[in-house]
Amino acid sequence: MKLLMWLVVFLAVPVAATQEKQEAANQEVSGTIKEVSINVRRLIIETTQHQEKTVSVGPETRILVNQRQGTLEELQPGQSIRIVLPRESSKAILIEVT
C-alpha cells in the first residue's frame, strides 16, 4: 500500500509542475473588442489599461460566448472579453466573452 501511495505522489508531482510551467508561459489580457476582422481572423481590443492590442485568431483558438463554444463571427465590437495567449505571441489560445 505504501508503495502505491509513493507511486501516486511520484507521478502527480511532474504533472502539476508541467501545468504550472504552461500557465506561467501564458498571459491573460482583458478588455473590450474594438474591431473584428473575420477575413484575416483578427481582433483589435482596448485593454483594461487603455492600450490597443491586436490578437490573431487561429482555427485552434477556443472561443466561448455565454459559457458555450462560439465562433469568431459571434464576436462583436463593444463586448468585454478575456484572452489567453502565449507570453511571446499575439495568437490567442482562448477568447472568452465576459
pLDDT in tens, the chain (98 residues): 454 444 444 555 554 444 444 556 899 999 999 999 999 999 999 999 999 999 999 999 999 999 999 999 999 999 999 999 998 889 999 999 98
Return the bridge partners of 68, or none. Answer: 65
What pTM did the predictor assign? Answer: 0.74
